[in-house]
Amino acid sequence: MSLPAQIHSQVDPAAVTKVTRLFNNTIGDILCELIQNARRAGATGVDLNLIETDGMALLAVVDDGAGIADPSVVLALGRSGWDGDVARREDPAGMGVFSLAGRDVEIGSRARGAGEGWSIRIGADDWESGSPIAVVPGSHPFGTEIRIAVDALWSKTLDASAKAAARYCPIPVRLNGEELPREDWLKSAEMIVEQDGVRIGIYRNSLH
Looking at residue 87, what is its pLDDT? 40
Average pLDDT, rounded, for the chain: 80
Element (H, E) at 129: helix 126-129
- Band (pLDDT 50/70/90 cuts) for residue 1 is low
Phi-psi region of 89 (alpha: psi -120 to 50; beta: other; left: phi over 0): alpha
pLDDT single digits (tens) 129-154: 778 899 999 888 899 999 999 988 88
42-78: b (≥16 Cβ within 10 Å) or e = ebebbbbeeeeeeeebbbbbbbbbbbbbbbbbbbbbb
Closest CA to 108 of 144, 82, 61, 138: 144
Give every CB contact of residue 89 below 8 A, 6+ residues apart in sequence.
Answer: 196, 197, 198
- DSSP helix, strand, coil percent of the chain (3-state; round to 5): 30, 30, 45
pLDDT single digits (tens) 29-53: 889 989 998 998 899 999 999 998 8
Q: Say whether pTM exceeds 0.85.
A: no
Residue type, 93: A
